[in-house]
Chain A
Amino acid sequence: MRYLRISAGFLAVGLVFSGCARTPLSNTASKATKSISALVEVSGGKQAGAAGNTLPQPVVVQANDDQGNPVPGALVSIRGPRDTMFDPPSGPTDSSGQFTTNLSLGGMAGRYQLIVSTHDEAGKPIELKIEEIALGYEEILGREMSEKYCARCHNQESTPERLSNYDNLAVKPHAFNEGDALNPISDADLTAIIEHGGPALNKSPLMPPYDYTLSKAEIHALISYIRMISDPPYRAPGTFYAKQ
């Protein structure tokens, strides 16, 4: 019985050692064969999640060589502004050349620039910028409003349960992240369209007015949500400060 236990112990130790040895071995082997020339974003960029919370989808990036083939086993690391947290913050790419990490954004609402980095054979750094959006209280309230009242027409990809009405409309509504179309419209004009409907700004009469349905605060929240998720990013007009 005792011998059995001892041999089992040896077996376990042996397994641990071989397990430890495996990872670095494959790392060096793959690095020797292929060289990374680019990092590509696979998914998980431009997500909007509540500030301080884990984003719903992980960020997935892929390391490619100069032929565009994935490179497995390359060490990739990701960093961001101070209170962003990554799980894991770095690691080797898997067998299909991809590195997956879950991240939670910092407590302040806004846009977060993340930098994914690795280096090629010669030690030259290769970087990829990814942007994520953290929503504060007001933007979350705006998102709830948008989901309830707006998404069925303004979001082409509403869920099956709430089939999108987008295709049925003669004049196509703008998706809320269409920065090119929405950024030039001032806050006052957006408020007017929401409050008084499309005709207020000579737009489609199919957009109904919401001034007797939504409160001022809710409309304000909705606009701050639209501004926050806009792509390209929205820059508030008005005071610009000279940098010294």
Chain B
Amino acid sequence: MDFDSRLGRRALRKLKREQVLWLTSVDDRGRPQPRPVWFHWNGEEVLIFSQPKAAKVRQIAARPEVALHFNSDAGGNDVVVFLGEARALRESPGPERVKAYLRKYRTGIVDLEMTLASFQAEYSVPILVRLTALRGF
């Protein structure tokens, strides 16, 4: 990924600052399935945690091609869309990475009336998305 363009710099800022992005995978009937997710960007890949039985885990196992985008503004401008390849990990993405994710959503997890432990137990499947293309305006 090249973040040197004007769009790239804007995309990078959003990866660092936004709370939510839309992850779209494709189901086994060929239908696009978008949903908002929490994420952490470490400069290399986007980390998402999922419940093990969630549809996105099945969908990316069969079809790793996904799209990620942020909310646009109300007029449909400020558009940042990534294409990427998603994979669920069997192992932890590493304690530092998990810690950074949990730090980002400390308040959000409390708002869900969960503890860090119960959140990690429920959202136990790490998914990494490698970004392959950027579009937007």
Do chains A and B stick together as partners?
no
Residues of B within 8 A of A (CB): none
